[in-house]
Structure 1
Amino acid sequence: MKNTAGQIHIGISGWRYKGWRGTFYPEGLKQATELRYAAERMQTIEINGTHYSLQSLDSWQHWYADTPPGFIFAVKGARYLTHLLRFRDETATVACANFFAQGLLALKEKLGPILWQFPPSLRFDPEHMERFLSLLPRDTEAARSLAQQHDKRVKTPYVETERKRTLRHAVEVRHESFVDAAFVKLLRHHKVALVVSDSTEAWPQFEDLSAGFVYLRLHGTQTKYSGAYPDASLERWADRIASWSHGSQPADARLAAPDLQPPRARTRDVYCYFDNDAKTNAPFDAQRLMERLALHAREAAA
């Protein structure tokens, strides 16, 4: 029987860091070509500027053009939605429309998962999470329809799609109250992935499978966003990623709902992002993990 596995995408969270110049980026490399340089060495990059503000359509189109075929972007959801409105206000629909109208659809086939990160102060409220999850568009046509409700804050809206594509959503939570079987059930009902978050912070770290893919964020080993991952840690994560990609769950997985059977899947795609950007740990750790999994930068397109 053929040993099948889902696609594995290893990369970094963001790419424009001053401290990376002269370390990961060669001396003299133009800032405008940093994305191209990073994309030739990674399989995926998490766009995190979208967390802080709407981006110009020109930026989205350049990001698409500056990356090779088969490259995948994850896009971080707007802080205005997750931290300020928290999807509780009636204006959340328009704000969500603005988010999707700014240019996400211009990434076309390079648009990967959308990351929704909630703050440590947000407690689990089943009704609130149900409203939030119900608002998320499941495909590019639904995203286009939502985007058409944008307001004037989007200067140059992009509400086109060349064909219908499934959209993937992942949720990262940082309050212990989310370690609850009811939360896992909600995620599974909406086919949204729980972000497996590894950090030195007191954020919950649980690994319940809730969708047809896994989203992993490695934040560092010393402080919140720093500290290289030693070889033993990378070996452990490589083993877990291999298990997830074959549709199974590690035997020692930390679960909020241990009595619930995970969704059945022969394979799962895995997206892994290193967020330990201080001291240039992230890109080198990503490359080291790719080596352990025998992956190359453009192999995700195969």
Structure 2
Amino acid sequence: MGDQNEHRIRTGIGGWTFEPWRGGNFYPEGLPHAQELHWASRQLPAIEINGTFYRNQTPATFAKWRDATPRGFMFSVKASQYCTHRRVLAEAGESVDRFINSGVAELGEKLGPVVWQFMPSKVFDPDDFSAFLGLLPERRDGVALRHVLDVRHPSFRDPAFVAMARRHRCAIVFTDADKFVSIPDATTDFVYARLMMASADVVTGYDDAALDRWTQCARAWSEGKRPVGLEQVSPEDGPETDRRDVFVYFINGAKERAPAAAAAMLRRLGLAPLA
């Protein structure tokens, strides 16, 4: 785990319950479904929880997930759609509080970023979006909260949005997906990438050249540098640092290949699974 902390780069997948991962593809043949989180968290250092997007969980559920995973593991948590899928984001205060108070802080040191995912049709409205970011708390029950914004409309590829995210110390999701806006700018002390273009025809989802490229990007972000070949939105660099946390999730696309892709990047980083 020392290497994992040193490099500050985590690779992971979305969720842990997926039928095609069973029967030897990722999970061993015959592994009970109740043990899948235990297994997955000892192969990869991070998982993005997607179920929280559809309904709020309970403190007991978050505590169960925390206790099933090893020391050093981290969950990213997707925020409730009731917070983000609305016409006026500034009116989301009650929904934000309900989600944050649902037990997220029970994850403790295993809580990674909270992902706020917006509708692809949601256009950048500076006043409304700034008001929404002002609703996001910095802490809950003594646990620091890190927020990441998954915006999907081309209007967000705007230096004003990047500057706003920096003021509020929120990260912006970077994605390689053709259908969503791509924003590689670093805006705070961590970077969050969702890689969504895996191919079912490649055992590791991405071929060697692509995995090498994304590994190089992750290393650059972690060292406080701009990755080569990614066009930033803002001419300004992010907060000056030589150490930045990086989360790289292989998610959607050919989802059956996601664990192999994440493990392949982990090997390229020279990092071992958590014990």
TM-score of the pair, normalised by structure 1? 0.84
Q: Give the distance between the partners of 2:204 and 2:87, measured in 1 at CA.
A: 32
Q: Give the distance between the partners of 1:74 and 1:180, measured in 2 at CA.
A: 26
The equivalent of 1:55 in structure 2 is 57
- How much identity, in percent, do the aligned residues show? 40
Map 1:135-146 → 2, pairs under 5 A: 135-140=135-140
Cα RMSD of the aligned pairs, angstroms, is 2.0
* Residue 85 (structure 1) shift: 5.7
Q: Which one of the candidate residues 237, 240, 249 is aligned to 1:273?
A: 249
* Residue 251 (structure 1) shift: 3.3
Unaligned runs of 5+ in 1: 141-160
Give the total of aligned pairs.
Answer: 268
On the 8 A contact 1:55/1:102 being kept in 2, the answer is yes
The equivalent of 1:169 in structure 2 is 147
CA shift in 2, pair 1:290/1:173, >3 Å: same
TM-score of the pair, normalised by structure 2? 0.92
* Residue 227 (structure 1) shift: 8.7
On the 8 A contact 1:194/1:215 being kept in 2, the answer is yes
Unaligned runs of 5+ in 2: none
The equivalent of 1:123 in structure 2 is 123
Q: Secondary structure at the match of 1:204?
A: coil
On the 8 A contact 2:217/2:228 being kept in 1, the answer is no
Q: Secondary structure at the match of 1:70?
A: coil
Once the two structures are superposed, residues 133-165 of structure 1 have per-residue CA deviations (whole angstroms, 9 ceiling, x without a partner) of: 11111123xxxxxxxxxxxxxxxxxxxx3xx34
CA shift in 2, pair 1:78/1:53, >3 Å: same
Q: Does 1:237 align with 2:214?
A: yes
CA shift in 2, pair 1:66/1:85, >3 Å: farther
AA in 2 matched with 1:81: C
Once the two structures are superposed, residues 86-142 of structure 1 have per-residue CA deviations (whole angstroms, 9 ceiling, x without a partner) of: 5243xx2221111012110111111110011111100011011101111111123xx
The equivalent of 2:16 in structure 1 is 15
* Residue 70 (structure 1) shift: 1.0
Q: Which one of the candidate residues 37, 40, 45 is aligned to 1:38?
A: 40
The ranges of structure 1 where at least 4 consecutive aligned residues each deviate by more than 3 angstroms after the TM superposition are: 276-279
Q: Give the distance between the partners of 1:109 and 1:244, measured in 2 at CA.
A: 22
